[in-house]
Amino acid sequence: MSELRFIHSADTHLVSPDKPEGEHRLRVLRELCHLARGTDALVLAGDLFDSAQEAASLEKPLREIFAEMRPARVLIIPGNHDTLRGPDPFDGRFDFGQGGNVHIFNKKPFDVLDVRGTAFYGFPFSRSQTSFEMTRDMQPRRSETRVAIMHGLAADRPQLASFALESGNREEGGESVLRDADLRNAGFSYAALGHIHRQEVWEHGEGCVLAYAGSPDPVRITETGPRRALAVKLDRRSGLAKAHPVELKSAGRAFSRDFFLFPGDEDELAAALETFIESCGPATKAAARVSGLGDTEKTARLRARLLEKWRPKLPLGLEIALSIEAAPSETAGDMALYGFLRAMKERGADGETRNPELERRVLAAGWRALLGQRLDPEDLLENK
For position 63, which CATH number holds?
3.60.21.10
Q: What is the pLDDT of residue 192?
A: 98
- The distance of Cα 89 from the centroid of its chain, to the nearest Å, equals 21
Note whether 99 and 207 are same-domain residues.
yes
Question: Do 35 and 71 fall within a single domain?
Answer: yes
Q: Are residues 129 and 188 in the same domain?
A: yes
pLDDT of residue 329: 60
Q: What is the pLDDT of residue 379?
A: 54
- Measuring CA to CA, which residue among 154, 133, 134 is closest to residue 202? 154
User: 180, 212, 247 — which closes off a domain?
Assistant: 247
Q: What is residue 49's DSSP assignment?
A: B
- Do residues 188 and 55 both lie within one domain? yes
- Which pTM value belongs to this model? 0.84
Say if CB 175 and CB 153 are below 8 A apart: yes
| Same domain as 291, residue 188 | no
Q: Are residues 184 and 330 both part of a single domain?
A: no
Q: Are residues 338 and 265 in the same domain?
A: yes
Residue from 9, 12, 98, 101 nearest 48 by CA: 12
| Same domain (yes/no): 74, 204 | yes
306 and 208 co-located in one domain: no
384 residues of the chain, pLDDT tens digit each: 689 999 999 999 999 999 989 999 999 999 999 999 999 999 999 999 999 999 999 999 999 999 999 999 999 999 999 988 888 999 889 999 998 999 999 999 999 999 999 999 999 999 888 999 999 989 888 878 999 999 999 988 877 766 555 444 444 545 789 999 999 999 999 999 999 999 999 998 778 999 999 999 999 888 888 999 999 999 988 889 999 999 999 999 999 998 888 888 899 999 999 999 999 988 899 999 998 788 899 999 999 999 999 999 998 899 999 988 777 665 555 667 777 777 777 766 555 555 666 766 777 677 667 766 666 665 555 444
CA distance 122 to 82: 15
User: Which of 192, 219, 247 is a domain's end point?
Assistant: 247
Strands 145-151 and 118-122: parallel
Dmax of the chain from CA atoms? Answer: 82
- Asked if residue 261 and residue 227 are part of one domain, the reply reads no
Q: Which domain holds residue 110?
A: 3-247
CB burial of 285-311 (b: ≥16 within 10 Å; e: otherwise) equals: bbbbbbbbbbbeeebeebbeebeeebb
Do both 195 and 215 map to the same domain? yes
CB atoms within 10 A of CB 237: 8
Which of 219, 247, 275 is the endpoint of a domain?
247
261 and 351 housed in the same domain: yes
Domain count, the chain: 2
pLDDT number for residue 207: 84
- Within 13 Å, how many C-alpha atoms sit on residue 59's CB side? 12
